[in-house]
Amino acid sequence: MSMSNLEGLLIKIRDDVSPSKNDLEVLLSKEDKSELKTIFSFADKIRKEFCGDGIFLRGIIEFSNYCVRDCFYCGLNRGNFKLERYRMGKDEVLSSVAFLAGNNIKTVVLQSGDDPNIDVAWLKDIILEIKKRFSMAITLSVGERKFEDYKAWKEAGADRYLLKIETSGKRLYESMHTDMSFDRRIKCLDALRDLGYQVGSGNIIGLPGQTLKTIAEDIIFFKEKDFDMIGIGPFIPHDDSRFSRQKTGEALLTLKVIALTRIVTKNAHIPATTALGSLDKDYRSDGLTCGANVLMPNFTPQPYRKLYEIYPGKRCVDEPVGACNFCMGDMAKSLGRYIDYGRGDSLKERKLSQNV
Ligand code: SAH
């Protein structure tokens, strides 16, 4: 393909209200170095135009690894009896939040497995306490719950919710989540939107059975749903999961998906995910130069951090908590960017209810 044809295609998917699946598939299949460079720098320009040069930080606290689900890719799956399970206490969660606040971070992501023993009122109290003590945005990522639970947490002050679709193909989704329903997951995402959460979703790249066509559909799905945040990470096989013998997702394909998602969605927040930093090398700075604008430093305290093993080789499992701040600053500087210590709320124009 000539360079001007390639540019033309990039402009087309940027401007189309509904980008074509075929165009996205063609772009996803690019392997030529100079063509890839064109795609990545096009995405980087859009990132700069719509999101600026600041990199937002989301400090993540993984507060429970109990899970009732059986996702074929995930190390926390309920059939993994080798894994020692934990649920942090309220005070432990709050002292981790205090530490994160002390590092000047203005978003906390509270993540866990799908743990029914996380009581609605318990998490609500934590949300109220965080809002009382600190000035920061709260993102929840605790999986599929009842509408009433989502509502109670929103009313208590939660700002955002992260629930990845993993793959937007219903059949593919249900083949690796055999006791889950794709429609139910969509219902959860819609309910979160209706409740006024800033909604994050995303996918995994390199899942068995996934094709460039299904990835193109994922990107179209992200655009249609107008998510405020989109997390895209490579699949990393876990020994104690059903997908233990499957191939690791490719960094390059993940970067292409980040770039095309940036071009199509323009101002969604896109993290350079921890999974992207956990392959043969750390590809997060590559992610930041082809569309990503967010980093997610880990604030889960030991001994829990090493037990939240959704995939093996997760970066920073042995780092002291808080070491991230230096590392992130250095990464930003090396790219001619800077860390933005603001909350980094959604850049979408819809009316946002912000809980201060
Ligand atoms: N229970 C919550 C949180 C899940 S863990 C929920 O369902 O939303 C957070 C994310 O880790 C998942 O959404 C998934 O995208 C990612 N993940 C899990 N296992 C993985 C693996 N083996 N490789 C890459 N990403 C994985």
Measured between alpha carbons, how far is residue 256 from residues 39, 53, 253, 350 in Å? 8, 20, 5, 28
- Domain tally, the chain: 1
Q: Which residues of 216-229 are buried (b: 16+ CB within 10 A; e: fewer)?
A: bbbbbbbbebebbb
150 within a domain of the structure (yes/no): yes
120 within a domain of the structure (yes/no): yes
pLDDT of residue 1: 84
State the distance from the centre of ligand 1 to the C-alpha of 112, rounded, in angstroms. 10
Q: Is the dihedral of CA 283, 286, 288, 291 positive or negative?
A: negative
Q: Is the dihedral of CA 257, 25, 227, 64 positive or negative?
A: negative
- pLDDT tens-place string over residues 190-247: 999 999 999 999 999 999 999 999 999 999 999 999 999 999 999 999 999 999 999 9
Q: Which secondary structure element, helix H or strand E, spans residue 334, and what is its range?
A: helix 324-334
State the distance from the centre of ligand 1 to the C-alpha of 269, rounded, in angstroms. 18
pLDDT of residue 196: 97
pLDDT of residue 349: 86
248 within a domain of the structure (yes/no): yes
State the distance from the centre of ligand 1 to the C-alpha of 310, rounded, in angstroms. 6
45 within a domain of the structure (yes/no): yes
The CATH number that applies at residue 152 is 3.20.20.70
- pLDDT tens-place string over residues 293-343: 999 999 999 999 999 999 999 988 888 877 787 889 999 999 999 999 999
State the distance from the centre of ligand 1 to the C-alpha of 12, rounded, in angstroms. 32
Tell me the pLDDT of the chain averaged across its residues.
Answer: 96
**Count H helices, E strands: the chain?**
12, 9
Give the C-alpha separation, 91 to 74, whole Å.
Answer: 28
Q: With a cut of 70, say whether residue 355 has pLDDT above it.
A: no
Q: Which of 202, 186, 204, 203 is nearest to 194 (CA)?
A: 186
169 within a domain of the structure (yes/no): yes
Q: Which DSSP string corresponds to 94-149?
A: HHHHHHHHHTT--EEEEEE-S-TTS-HHHHHHHHHHHHHH---EEEEE--S--HHH
1 within a domain of the structure (yes/no): no
180 within a domain of the structure (yes/no): yes
pTM score > 0.95 for this model? Answer: yes
Give the C-alpha separation, 206 to 226, whole Å.
Answer: 23
Q: With a cut of 60, say whether residue 353 has pLDDT above it.
A: no
State the distance from the centre of ligand 1 to the C-alpha of 256, rounded, in angstroms. 20
Place of tokens 């992207």: 276
Residues whose beta carbon lies within 6 Å of some atom of ligand 1: 73-74, 111, 113-114, 141, 143, 163-164, 166, 204, 233, 235-236, 238, 275, 310-311
Amino acid at 22: N
Site to substitute for ligand 1 among 204, 222, 279, most atoms within 8 A of C-beta: 204
State the distance from the centre of ligand 1 to the C-alpha of 302, rounded, in angstroms. 20
Look at ligand 1, atom 18, and give the residue with the nearest C-alpha: 74
Look at ligand 1, atom 24, and give the residue with the nearest C-alpha: 235
Domain containing residue 175: 20-340
101 within a domain of the structure (yes/no): yes
Longest alpha-carbon distance in the chain: 60
- pLDDT tens-place string over residues 278-303: 999 999 999 999 999 999 999 999 99
Q: Which of 12, 6, 13, 9 is nearest to 33 (CA)?
A: 6
